[in-house]
Amino acid sequence: MRVVSQYVVTNNDAGPKAKTDIEEILRKSYNAKIFTNKVRNNEENNVKSKIKKFIFSTLSLKSEEMTIIQIPFSNKIKILNMAKNKIGLIHDIDGLRYNNEKLLKEEINALNQYQGIIVHNDAMEKVLKDNGLTTKTEKIELFDYLVDDNFFIKERKFNKNDIKIAYPGNLEPNKASFLYNLDENRMNFRLSIYGNYLEKDKLKNNKIVYKGSFPPNVIIERLEEDLGLVWSGKIDESDIENGEKGYTRFNTPHKLSCFLVAGIPVIVWKKSAASKIVKKYNIGYEINNIYEINNIDFNDYEEKRKNAIELSKKYSDEKVAKMINGVLDKIYHEVEDKSE
């Protein structure tokens, strides 16, 4: 087995975390060979040539060895079509993410060259098939969030009169506009924010406190809040600007796994794909807009916290590896059956 990945490297950015975790999980469990093309922001103009050089120099794609390609990966690199046994493991679909129909078509045409695709959930599977995906799919539901060996879940004394919520992520106004528009007089909770690209001069709210920017393996150690917020975009809709095609309806963010491993319940948008997981496992709260946090009674907080911890154990690295292997077996058995 080999794992092929590409990602942009920036300081204290959790963007590559999900991909590097998969690399480590499959290396540890199956001795997978790891081939990674790391691109820095100032190198993006040369991405195509770098990827070609990277693949030619490291892979014998004509071999029968199973190749797991972590997506996004440039669909313009036709050499990947040489791989005979390739599975796509989706982290993001940029055509959906940016509501770009042309890009989505290009991505799906590329995905149809794979023997199988691992998607997040039913909603992602449906929207891809509705847009022309014909490749066999299987669902993974959740990813693990790897931590250092010395990590431990902190004890928390929950106080309904002093609710503390964590929000780590991209803090740009066009990504997290709700942060810059919340009225502190309408908030019965405090919000701790972590991440890059905060525009401090636009943040006028004493109940929102910036805690800094940290690498993924450090930020999970820093989380001291009672709950984790999974949100993007506006106060009343966790979609950036895409309406009914909004990305959170299809994507299960790695941030959700971070909160579960930290042992804290989550708050999600009721129409998001993550809400189905929250409801299924009773690990948090669903809301329509941020101010609805004020109306949650939190009487079942300890139960949800316990469930969050148990679910994170279910999706440990060893179990995720077995799950991926099981998905691969299903895909290949179906492919073999069709070829007979």
- Closest by Cα among 220, 175, 217 to 197: 175
pLDDT at site 15? 76
Tens-digit pLDDT profile for residues 62-116:
567 888 999 998 755 555 666 778 899 999 999 998 889 999 999 999 999 998 9
310 phi, psi to nearest 5 deg:
-65, -40
The architecture of the domain spanning 2-142+317-339 is: 3-Layer(aba) Sandwich (3.40)
In the chain, which residues fall in CATH 3.40.50.2000?
2-142+317-339, 163-314
Total residue count of the chain as it appears in this document: 340
pLDDT at site 325? 78
pLDDT at site 61? 57
Per-residue CA distances from 209 to 192, 216, 296, 330 (Å) = 5, 19, 22, 47
pLDDT at site 273? 95
CB 190 within 8 A of CB 209: yes
Whole-prediction pTM? 0.89
Q: Which parts of the chain have pLDDT scores under 50?
A: 42, 44-45, 57, 243-244, 339-340
Tens-digit pLDDT profile for residues 243-279:
446 889 999 999 999 999 999 999 999 999 999 999 9
- Strands 2-9 and 67-71 turn out to be parallel
- Burial code (b: 16+ CB inside 10 Å, e: under 16) for 226-237 equals bbbbbbbbbbeb
308 phi, psi to nearest 5 deg:
-60, -45
Q: What is the CATH number of domain 163-314?
A: 3.40.50.2000
